[in-house]
Amino acid sequence: MAGLLQFAALYLLAAAMPQHRGPLLGRWQQVVRSQQASIAGWALLAVSFGLAIAAGNPIFVVFWLGLLPLSCGVILLGLSFFPRLLHGAILAVPLCAAGLLLTRVVP
Amino acid sequence: MSAIRQGMRQVMAWLHGWTGLVLGWVLFVMCLAGTLSVFKPEISRWMRPEATATADRIDAMSTAVAWLSTHNRGSTGWYLNAADNRANIVDATYDSDGGDYVVRALDPVSGMPVARETLGGEFFYRLHFELELPYPWGRWLASIAALAMLTALVTGIAAHRRIFRDFFTFRPRKGQRSWLDGHNALGVLALPFHLMITFSGLLTLASLNMPWGIVANYGNDLAAAFHDLAPGAVDRPAAKRPAPLAPIAPMLREAERRFGGAPFGRLSIEHPGDAAAVVTVYRADSAQIGATVAEVSFDGPSGRVIGAWAEHRPAVQTYAVIYGLHMGRFASGLLRWLYFLGGGMLTLAVATGMVLWVVKRRERAPLSLTNRVVERLNVGVIAGVPIGCAAFLWGNRLLPLDLASRSQQEVNIALGAAALALIAGSVMPPRLGWPILLAILALLCLGAPLVGGGTGYVQAALSRGDAVLPAIDLVLVCAGLAVLMMVLPVRRPSPAASGRRSRRLPA
């Protein structure tokens, strides 16, 4: 869960940068302003790190830090080579998050 | 102000370049070997395809001790690493009748040493911090290199002008620009990992770098220092009277009960077969992040508890957590792969940094003689060391099983192959050296799963539901394909690059 949020947060932070706005946001460029994306990105990042800490076991903090290069790397490679795939991934994040929440609540 | 800042950046960039250049090749070996060590038990399993039996950790340890009890005489001590969900064999170190210590992998069901004598993943682990040099020189060099790495990381951060703005930027096919982007991304994106692994690695060798604290307090009395580090350890002289060892399984269960249910990871038996034998059971490092010591000692012949001790001192525990973070033994599943990813990125960051040194200077002016030497050494080391690693796997599959000192022969093959590649890389012009050596590396990686037994090993593993061997095969094939993909573009733009250089020359 924290990992998904981390990915979304980093995506937003990248989308806040002038040189990546176009490929990352597409038509949403008019809707989302850089500053909003930046604030939302940092906030999500903080929330995801908070979740890792709140999990209780320090292993999750190590996990969160270990996931950083993976999330950033996916965004970097996606930006350079397959921006379409990246759009798909970011759209899948809320779905996966909702799915995870459901499995927590339902059983 | 800005003049000072510009100046500082330049100084930092200068230091970054030189620390990286001077120890870069050593760092490349260390990072590569360390990254492979993340999967040490898995690599060992791949390299012992005949050892397919698995057993519960207590049963495996009992059979190992039983085999040693009947087949080993006159030993001063047995040191055994337990089988667990990653390693299926018991890893035993022991001597006999005053001889040298030997290391053997004991089968978990029969207790006998398994057929294929090999160092397995232990080779990469040792290479990571001893560099195949005699003690203490290897560790010295490794710790100096770690110091250089830490310097290079910190100066790299200071010298990077647009650390946040270029965070997600990679511009492919732009010569020096791409190498710099790649080097930055590999370094910056995993920076928390890089800083952690370098600092903690430096600390594991701290008693070698900075022995003065120990010397000031203990002088040359290292035994006293060790005793204070493990004050609960039971140490008693041999009684010189033979006595059989009590069954080991009840001791292991008692120890695990005292560890609060955490599994045991290691076992040592001092003076085995003597009336004063001491059995000490240690908690597994995989139970928590910190590699803190917890141990229970038993009287060998009776199986009575004669000592129990766990480390609770804050300073020692702090060290244990840092050490544990470096070793990553607590990491399982995805987290282990993230360690592998971080290590791989650091290895590539070192490699791209070395290449960048040459590329940057080549784009400005024709290379000086020294830089041409650097360029060729880059080819030899960056392609040659992985070739040595892959050759090690080939040696494992090809050497006859009954060869004398077989495990050493495997190491000789690895070192020989790396040395050959280094010589080839230095002799050939880099324009030929890069594609030829990388193509050899790719073929070695692609061939390793098949050599010596065709698809027999992977089929046998799949039929008994063992995922480790096929997974490593898959990683090898992916690595081979990735290297192949690198070969193709390396060959194409090189005429263009030299063309650009010659165009600039007259100007």
In the prediction, which pLDDT does B73 show? 85
Q: Which tokens hold the place of B26? A: 């050593």
pLDDT at B214 over 90: no
- Grade residue B470 by pLDDT with cuts at 50, 70 and 90: very high
Q: How many CA atoms lie within 13 A of B393 on its CB side?
A: 28
Span of A95-99, B62-66, B366-370, B498-502 with lowest mean pLDDT:
B498-502
Which residue do the tokens 């990871």 mark?
Answer: B265
* Residue B506 pLDDT exceeds 50: no
Q: Are strands B102-106 and B305-310 parallel, antiparallel or unpaired?
A: unpaired
| pLDDT of the residue at B490 | 54
Q: How far apart are CA B459 and CA B463, in angstroms?
A: 6
pLDDT at B505: 30
pLDDT digits (tens, 9 = 90+) for B380-414: 999 999 999 999 999 999 999 989 889 999 999 99
Q: What is the pLDDT of residues B315-335, one digit of tens each?
A: 888 999 999 999 998 888 889
What helix, strand, coil percent values describe chain B, rounded to 5? 60, 10, 30
The DSSP line for B304-373 is: -EEEEEE---HHHHHHHHHHHHHHTTT--THHHHHHHHHHHHHHHHHHHHHHHHHHHHHHHSPPPHHHHH
pLDDT at A59: 86
Task: Report which residue type is found at B427.
Answer: V
Q: In 3D, which of B485, B506, B507, B504 has the Cα closest to residue B176?
A: B504
Task: Pick from A23-32, A48-57, B165-174, B471-480 the range whose average pLDDT is largest.
Answer: B471-480
Please check the confidence at residue B492 and state whether its pLDDT lies above 90. no
pLDDT given at position B142: 93
What is the three-class DSSP state of B50?
Answer: coil
Q: What is the pLDDT of residue B287?
A: 80
> Which of B190, B170, B191 minimizes the C-alpha distance to B182?
B170
Give the residue from chain A lying closest to B181, CA to CA. A76
For residues B58 and B40, what is the distance between their CA atoms, to the nearest angstrom? 21
> Cβ distance B438 to B428 under 8 Å?
no
Tell me the shortest Cα–Cα distance from A45 to chain B, in angstroms. 15
Q: What residue of B is the nearest CA neighbor of A81? A: B172
Quick one: which of B379, B373, B450, B375 has its CA closest to B418? Answer: B379
Range picked from B131-135, B222-226, B228-232, B436-440 for highest mean pLDDT: B436-440
Q: What is the mean pLDDT of residues B65-79?
A: 91
**Using a CB-CB distance cutoff of 8 angstroms, which residues of chain B are in contact with residue A79?**
168-170
Mean pLDDT of chain A: 79
B163 touches chain A (CB under 8 A): no
Q: Report which listed range, B19-28, B355-364, B414-423, is most confident.
A: B414-423
* Chain A interface test: which of B38, B162, B168 (most A C-beta within 10 Å): B168
B411 touches chain A (CB under 8 A): no
pLDDT beyond 50 at B495 = no
Whether residue B61 contacts residue B263, with contact meaning beta carbons closer than 8 Å, is answered with no
